[in-house]
Amino acid sequence: MTRDDTLPKMTARHVNVFYGANQAIADVSIDVRRDEVTAFIGPSGCGKSTFLRTLNRMNDTVAAARVEGEIRLDGADIYARDMDVVQLRARVGMVFQKPNPFPKSIYENVAYGPRIHGLAKGKADLDRIVEEALSRAGLWSEIKDRLGTSGTALSGGQQQRLCIARAIAVEPEVILMDEPCSALDPIATARIEELIHELRGRYAIVIVTHNMQQAARVSQKTAFFHLGRLIEYADTSDIFTNPREERTKDYITGRYG
Amino acid sequence: MAIGQEHTVKAFDLDIGELRGLIGQMGGVAEQAIADAIAALQHGDLDLAQRVREGDKALDALELEVERNAVRIIALRAPLANDLREVVAALKIAGVVERIGDYAKNIAKRVPMIEGEGADRIEPVSVIAAMARMASGMVHDVLDAFAARDTEKALAVYERDDALDDFYDSIFRTLVTYMVENPRTISQVAHLLFVAKNLERIGDHATNVAEMVYFAATGTRLADRERVTH
């Protein structure tokens, strides 16, 4: 193992996020390890999604949002002046709550990223990248005969896997998932969870979920957020069987609020 | 120790309350079975002994009900953290209390074999009663500890097991001596030895329950806790 592999993939130190005058995140420090799935849990409005979005600067698109503190990817400050945000988002990909395929063919949905990032050396190479991404996302066998049909014509679960294929086609290092299963039925949810399990180790994965059981199933580390603060961050098995903090316990056992 | 805040879903609290109630009920039945079995032994009351043997079915039924409830809670409520530990503890404790009932039943079964004809009544029967009170007291206290999530009380039961073991050793020696001196009673006293052994096992089971209560309440294994220096 190289020195690189033992360091956290991403580190956040004393991060504050403000929306105008409102502070959404207060003094959050956390490490995201490269070989693990990290789950963010907490009640609605606790800041977990806001914090997730700071990890690939998605909050830049919100005019009133202001981020303080330090977030590093492999040691490099992602909020540094010379950071290329487009490159950053290729390295730190994102999958959203609602599947949002482009209104284009399945093939184009996946090929778009590698093409604009210049990852493919010609058509054959692009075909290979598309097939590999769709296979890794567990979708290839279902759609290989209709790559030309529109991505939006797929079922919800397939669309979400298409979005995951789209995210991994550009060879990211980190995948952020913001409640990726909340719009899916139980079978599609199980497929995504299985996928997370298979992708683990290849990418650092951070997932925001409202489903405790899901967090317990898919992650190795769990962070509990409450009112913009990180209350507890520990091994998932500890969080769900023996949390240290009273607030964590009250939340995961359904006593919060 | 304070009882935790209520669940947002009130029915969850009712479910857990019902489960605890069933465990308490099982404890009561088991305690009574031990007391009755020993009373039957002391007074040579064969009818009472027979009732203890039949009464064991009630414990089996209660254990089944605990199991059904616990499985339903796990399936419907997906309990986590302290809730999960408590439901799992209840499930395990029910199995142990059922075993305790089996030991009481076994004592009752031996009553006719120990109860000699009139003059053959063997004297050491009297020392068994004190040991039975001790074992039954451990069962009582440890189930109280579960009901109140009281780790101190659980710990006290855990530590009492040594005294019960000493009691057993001394009864064992007494009974062996008695057999040597009264060879005619060997078969009766041999059964009495089993009675003492059963009581000793009941104490072991109560000690196991103490460990479960401690874990359910704290999330730490009793064996892993920081050793308190006396």
pLDDT digit string, tens, across residues A2-22: 446 778 999 999 999 999 999
pLDDT, tens digit, 9 for 90 and up, residues A161-208: 999 999 999 999 999 999 999 888 888 899 899 989 999 989 999 999
Q: Are A253 and B79 in contact (CB < 8 Å)? A: yes
Is pLDDT of B3 > 50?
no
Indicate if the pLDDT at residue B224 is higher than 90: no
Q: What is the mean pLDDT of chain B?
A: 90
Would the CB atoms of A254 and B12 count as touching at under 8 Å? yes
pLDDT at residue B120, as a whole number:
62
pLDDT at residue A235, rounded to an integer: 96
Over residues A218-257, the pLDDT tens digits come to 999 999 999 999 999 999 999 999 999 999 999 998 887 5
pLDDT score at A184: 84
Mean pLDDT value of segment B109-129: 79
> For residue B1, what pLDDT is reported?
32
Q: Lowest mean pLDDT of A42-46, A103-107, B225-229, name the range.
A: B225-229
CA distances for A97 relative to A23, A100, A199, B156, B203, angstroms = 23, 9, 18, 52, 55
Q: What is the value of pTM for the model shown?
A: 0.80
Average pLDDT value for residue range B186-207: 95
Residue B103 lies in a domain: yes
| Number of folded domains that form chain B | 1
- Kindly tell me if the per-residue pLDDT of B105 is higher than 60: yes
In this predicted structure, what is the pLDDT of residue B118? 57
Mean pLDDT of B104-119: 84
For residue range B55-100, what is the model confidence (pLDDT) as tens digits? 999 999 999 999 999 999 999 888 999 999 999 999 999 999 999 9
pLDDT band at B150 (very low <50, low <70, confident <90, very high): very high
In a domain, B49, yes or no: yes
More confident: A218 or B11: A218
- The mean pLDDT of chain A is 92
Mean predicted confidence (pLDDT) in B9-30: 92
pLDDT for B28 equals 94
Tell me if B188 is assigned to some domain.
yes
Is residue B225 a part of any domain in this protein? no
How does DSSP assign B88-153, residue by residue?
A: HHHHHHHHHHHHHHHHHHHHHHHHHHH--SGGG--TTHHHHHHHHHHHHHHHHHHHHHHHHT-HHH
Average pLDDT, stretch B23-42?
A: 95
Res. A76: pLDDT tops 90: yes
Domain containing B195: what range? 3-218
The domain that holds B64 is classified in CATH as: 1.20.58.220
- At residue B8, does pLDDT exceed 90? no
Q: How far is A103 from chain B (nearest CA, A)?
A: 39
Q: Does residue B223 lie in a domain region?
A: no
Residue B222 pLDDT class (50, 70, 90 cuts) = confident
The pLDDT value given to residue B126: 80
Question: What is the count of residue pairs from A and B with beta carbons less than 8 Å apart?
Answer: 44
Chain A residues with a Cβ under 8 Å from any Cβ in chain B = 212-213, 216, 240-243, 248-250, 252-257
Partner-chain contact B8 A216, CB within 8 Å? no
Beta-carbon separation of A255 and B6 below 8 A: yes
Q: Which whole number is the average pLDDT over B10-39?
A: 93
In B, minimum Cα distance to A214 occurs at: B78
Measure CB to CB from residue B81 to each of A213, A241, A256 and give the nearest one.
A241
Quick one: residue B144, left, alpha or beta (phi over 0 = left, psi -120 to 50 = alpha)?
alpha
Query: Is pLDDT of A144 > 80?
Result: yes
* Mutate which: B13, B80, B225, vs A, most A CBs within 10 A: B80
> What pLDDT score was predicted for residue A6?
78
Res. B157 pLDDT band, cuts 50 70 90: very high
DSSP state string for chain A: --HHHHS-SEEEEEEEEEETTEEEEEEEEEEE-TTSEEEEE-STTSSHHHHHHHTTTGGGGSTTEEEEEEEEETTEETTSTT--HHHHHHHEEEE-SS----SSBHHHHHHHHHHHTT--SSHHHHHHHHHHHHHHTT-HHHHTT-TTSBGGGS-HHHHHHHHHHHHHHT--SEEEEESTTTTS-HHHHHHHHHHHHHHBTTBEEEEE-S-HHHHHHH-SEEEEEETTEEEEEEEHHHHHHS-SSHHHHHHHTT---
Answer whether residue A122 shows pLDDT above 70. yes
- Report which of residues B2 and A157 the model is more confident about: A157
Q: What is the pLDDT of residue B2?
A: 38
Q: Do the Cβ atoms of A93 and A9 come closer than 8 Å? A: no
**Domain assignment present for B226:** no
B88–chain A Cβ distance below 8 A for any pair: no
Asked whether residue B68 is domain-assigned, the answer is: yes
Q: What is the pLDDT of residues A22-40, one digit of tens each?
A: 999 999 999 999 999 999 9
Q: Is residue B230 part of a domain?
A: no
Task: Indicate if the pLDDT at residue B229 is higher than 50.
Answer: no
